[in-house]
């Protein structure tokens, strides 16, 4: 009988991945996956960009590349990030195989078995999986409408054993959909300064804002560049070009970069050169800006459709907030409600979502659920939300 490691034995399958087969059924309306709509991808534009490349660049796309990333993409991505105010000259940029790899690299760089790591509760399931794979003790810190709860965070920071890092997703949080306020980020910065606790700032959705007045709130902590904190900023092409490219990035201080590059060498040697060439061409053409603007408007249209349906059909005891960007709406049910029972009933009716315990670091609290609107037309949303609402009423009254 195989003798697996303790780290592997502690892993569990993501409920979201388990739902993907179900979600692909034509009779099911899926609000489960955080996937861009296939019909929104810039297929023709990327095809044309690749055709226009010279033969040497096309050949390079089929070849191994340097571990940190292709120099051309590092250069163009530096420019893209500089426009967001990020301090690229004071840090090092590493291309990763999706932002998920970035979280794994940071987890491996920092975590020894049994050491505490602070995460939001609820938290992105990919981060929980990555940190759990290195046998971290996951300590969930609750969030409210403004961001991470500072009272709860202060209590964690005062505990005897110092956490290895704090992981947050401040910009259209997955799964809670919230956008941190500027004030909450300022308080968070002050709490971490001089603590010797690195901050992992995950920004997969920040470009997908719906309202221009939120631009200041979207300024990354990494762009603020506070003294006394090692800020590790991660991002991805998955939501602004396509997840199939499997390309992300991390912008981190030199010392952390050195460790992560060594870890990446042992993991995959390099991220796909082919998709790096495509991403580089897309940035250099300037089309990334017009494309992001177009999908931003489409996601707002879908979000508005879900808000309209939820307003019409949800019972008053369900709490939720109107999204200001990103992909998700988070529903909080009465205490003691079981979202898994609701989900099973909804599946019978023809709709599926993700139950809240999936995003709980302890895997227990389940009186909440995540709805994704990014991969559905307004018509599908209008048809599917009543199924979810009726299922909630049948279980919760």
47 domain-assigned: no
Assign residue 161 the CATH number of its domain: 3.40.640.10
Q: Residue 3 has what pLDDT?
A: 80
Same domain, 79 and 208: yes
222 domain-assigned: yes
How many whole angstroms separate alpha carbon 304 and alpha carbon 378? 9
CA separation, residue 266 to residues 105, 262, 263, 331, 353 (Å): 11, 7, 5, 41, 36
Same domain, 155 and 215: yes
Reply yes or no: is the peptide bond before residue 338 cis, omega within 30 of 0.
no
Please write the tens of the pLDDT for every residue from 173-215: 999 999 999 999 999 999 999 999 999 999 999 999 999 999 9
Same domain, 232 and 257: yes
Closest CA to 262 of 142, 94, 135: 94
Q: In the predicted model, is pLDDT for residue 21 greater than 70? A: no
Same domain, 239 and 306: no
Same domain, 381 and 316: yes
357 domain-assigned: yes
Closest CA to 198 of 164, 247, 222, 248: 164
Same domain, 172 and 86: yes
Same domain, 74 and 204: yes
- The overall average pLDDT reported for the chain is 95
Q: What is the mean pLDDT of residues 297-325?
A: 97
Same domain, 156 and 294: no
How many whole angstroms separate alpha carbon 233 and alpha carbon 250? 6
Give how many domains the chain has, as a whole number. 2
Q: In the predicted model, is pLDDT for residue 20 greater than 80? A: no
Domain range for 87 is 54-287
Of 250, 269, 287, the one marking the end of a domain is 287
Q: Residue 205 has what pLDDT?
A: 98
Q: Residue 6 has what pLDDT?
A: 76
Q: What is the mean pLDDT of residues 305-313?
A: 98
Please write the tens of the pLDDT for every residue from 217-269: 999 999 999 999 999 999 999 999 999 999 999 999 999 999 999 999 999 99
The residue length of the chain stands at: 397
Q: Residue 1 has what pLDDT?
A: 79
Same domain, 64 and 12: no
Same domain, 253 and 188: yes
User: pLDDT-derived band of residue 26, with 50, 70 and 90 as boundaries?
Assistant: confident
Same domain, 241 and 316: no
Same domain, 229 and 376: no
Q: Residue 9 has what pLDDT?
A: 66
Q: Residue 45 has what pLDDT?
A: 97
User: pLDDT-derived band of residue 328, with 50, 70 and 90 as boundaries?
Assistant: very high
Closest CA to 130 of 49, 225, 200, 51: 200
Of 239, 272, 287, the one marking the end of a domain is 287
Assign residue 332 the CATH number of its domain: 3.90.1150.10
Q: What are the residues facing 20 on neighbouring strands?
A: none
Long-range Cβ contact pairs of 289-295 (< 8 A, separation 24 or more): 291/42, 291/45, 291/240, 291/241, 292/207, 292/208, 292/240, 295/36, 295/40, 295/208, 295/240
Q: In the predicted model, is pLDDT for residue 18 greater than 70? A: no
Of 267, 287, 307, the one marking the end of a domain is 287
How many whole angstroms separate alpha carbon 264 and alpha carbon 273? 15
What percentage of residues in the chain have a pLDDT greater than 70? 96
């Amino acid at each position: 009988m195989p003798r697996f490691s303790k780290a592997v034995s502690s892993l569990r399958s993501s409920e979201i991945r388990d739902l993907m087969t179900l979600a692909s059924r034509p009779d099911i309306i899926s609000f489960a996956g955080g996937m861009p709509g296939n019909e929104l991808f810039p297929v023709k534009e990327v095809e044309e960009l690749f055709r226009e490349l010279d033969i040497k660049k096309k050949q390079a796309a089929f070849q191994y590349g340097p571990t940190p990333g292709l120099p051309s993409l590092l250069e163009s991505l530096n420019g893209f990030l500089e426009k967001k105010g990020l301090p690229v000259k004071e840090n090092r940029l590493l291309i990763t195989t999706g932002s998920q790899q970035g979280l794994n690299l940071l987890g491996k760089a920092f975590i020894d078995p049994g050491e505490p790591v602070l995460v939001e509760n609820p938290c992105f399931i990919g981060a929980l999986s990555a940190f759990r794979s290195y046998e971290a003790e996951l300590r969930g810190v609750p969030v409210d409408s403004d961001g991470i709860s500072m009272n709860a965070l202060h209590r964690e920071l005062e505990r005897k054993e110092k956490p290895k890092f704090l992981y947050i997703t401040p910009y259209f949080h997955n799964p809670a959909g919230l956008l941190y306020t500027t004030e909450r980020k300022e308080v968070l910065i002050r709490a971490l300064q001089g603590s010797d606790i690195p901050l992992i700032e995950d920004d997969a959705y920040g470009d997908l804002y719906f309202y221009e007045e939120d631009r200041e709130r979207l300024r990354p902590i990494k762009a603020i560049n506070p003294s006394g904190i090692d800020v590790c900023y991660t991002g991805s092409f998955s939501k602004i070009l396509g997840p199939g490219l499997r390309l992300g990035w991390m912008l981190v201080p030199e010392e952390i970069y050195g460790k992560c590059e060594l870890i990446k060498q042992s993991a995959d040697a390099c991220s796909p050169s082919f998709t790096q060439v495509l991403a580089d061409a897309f940035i250099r053409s300037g089309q990334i800006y017009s494309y992001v603007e177009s999908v931003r408007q489409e996601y707002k249209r879908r979000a508005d459709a879900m808000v309209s349906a939820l307003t019409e059909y949800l019972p008053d005891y369900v709490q939720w907030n109107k999204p200001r960007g990103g992909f998700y709406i988070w529903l909080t049910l009465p205490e003691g409600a079981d979202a898994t029972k609701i989900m099973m009933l909804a599946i019978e009716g023809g709709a599926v979502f993700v139950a809240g315990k999936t995003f709980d670091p302890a895997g227990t609290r389940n009186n909440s659920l995540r709805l994704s609107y990014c991969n559905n037309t307004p018509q599908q949303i209008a048809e599917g939300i009543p199924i979810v609402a009726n299922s909630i009423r049948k279980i919760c009254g």
